[in-house]
Amino acid sequence: MIGLEPVATPGAPLARRNPVAKLAAGLIFSFVLVASLDPVAPAVAIAVELALLPLFGIRYRVLARRAWPLLAGAVGILVTLLLFAADRSGPVLWTAGPLLVTSGVLVTALGLVLRMLAVALPGVIVFATTDPTDLADALVQNAKAPARFAIGALAAFRLVPLLGQEWQMLTMARRARGVDAGRNPLARLRLFVATAFALLVGAIRRGTRLAVAMDARGFDAGTPRTVARRQVFRPADWLLVAGAAALAGGALAVSVALGTFRPLIG
């Protein structure tokens, strides 16, 4: 089952910050790291993120459960680059038949994988410590986002857990009709694509019904809406945003000081 509810300790100091502040801090921290191609800056950033994790009230085991698709994708990218990257410069580190691993391709692969993890982890932390309802309220009140967009995003978050349930129901229904791939990998792939397409069609239909229902309730009328839950942007929230920018700049400064900085452009 897919879950998007917050899993942090409610009293954690950084978990209590304004949702817009946490989202802005995560975006700034991630955006700065995109400017470098070397593995040092993202490695320092990942170390900082993991060190700050207790302040968000998240246990490392819980983060691993939330981020396992990200880790699996990182391993896949690393293996793909080691096998098929065109740049084979530098000393040879390991060779096995046609496979040739050099220092150049290893640095490039590690840089990409670490940068992906460093950019994605802030998003995982933000959504693991933020209630979707609070995020929608903060987007409307503090970021001045349109209510239609914010509440539509909230509805999408609330409906995401249904995807896991529907996938299970579709799989069970196919098995009840005798449609089973067995151990045939091609049949498994064909069945997976068919199930995913059916899930996509169901999601589009549900989204269409939801959009019509929101329009019927005046979400596109342009009338000012009142709020039931106030979201206040305090000085501590500004400190969080400034701290994220400073930490990201510090990671780049370490890379520059060590002489490993490789700008994305130039």
Phi-psi group of 141: left, alpha or beta (phi > 0 → left; psi -120 to 50 → alpha; rest → beta): alpha
Amino acid at 38: D
Percent of the chain predicted with pLDDT > 90: 18
Give the start-to-end residue ranges of the domains of the chain.
Answer: 19-137+233-257, 144-216
Instruction: Report the pLDDT value the prediction gives residue 68, as an integer from 0 to 100.
Output: 81
The pLDDT of residue 5: 56
Mean predicted confidence (pLDDT) in 194-209 = 88
Over residues 202-220, mean pLDDT: 82
pLDDT of residue 222: 67
| Mean of all residue pLDDT scores within the chain | 83
3-12: per-residue pLDDT in tens?
A: 555 667 777 8
CA distance 214 to 260: 52
Average pLDDT rounded to a whole number, residues 107-136: 87
Per-residue pLDDT of 69-109, as tens digits, reads 888 888 888 888 777 776 667 777 777 766 777 777 777 88
State yes or no: pLDDT of 122 exceeds 60: yes
Check whether 164 has a pLDDT greater than 50.
yes
State the pLDDT confidence band at 245, using cuts at 50, 70 and 90: very high
Q: pLDDT tier at 176 (50, 70, 90 boundaries)?
A: confident
The reported pLDDT for the residue numbered 186 is 84
Query: Residue 37 is which amino acid?
Result: L
| Inter-CA distances, 246 with 29, 40, 48, 49, Å | 9, 17, 12, 13
| Helices and strands per DSSP (H, E), number in the chain | 8, 2
Average pLDDT over residues 164-185: 82
Q: Please give the sequence-ordered ranges of beta strands (E in DSSP) within the chain, or none if there are none.
A: 92-96, 99-102
- What is the pLDDT confidence band of residue 174, given thresholds at 50, 70 and 90? confident
pLDDT digits (tens, 9 = 90+) for 36-65: 888 888 899 999 999 999 999 888 888 888
For the chain, the residue count is 266
Q: Could you count the other beta carbons within 10 Å of the beta carbon of residue 193?
A: 10
Tens of pLDDT along 23-42? 999 999 988 888 888 888 88
Q: At what angle do helices 103-128 and 40-52 cross, to 10 degrees?
A: 30
Q: How confident is the model at residue 266 (pLDDT cuts 50, 70, 90)?
A: low
Q: What confidence score (pLDDT) does residue 59 get?
A: 87
Place of tokens 């452009």: 265
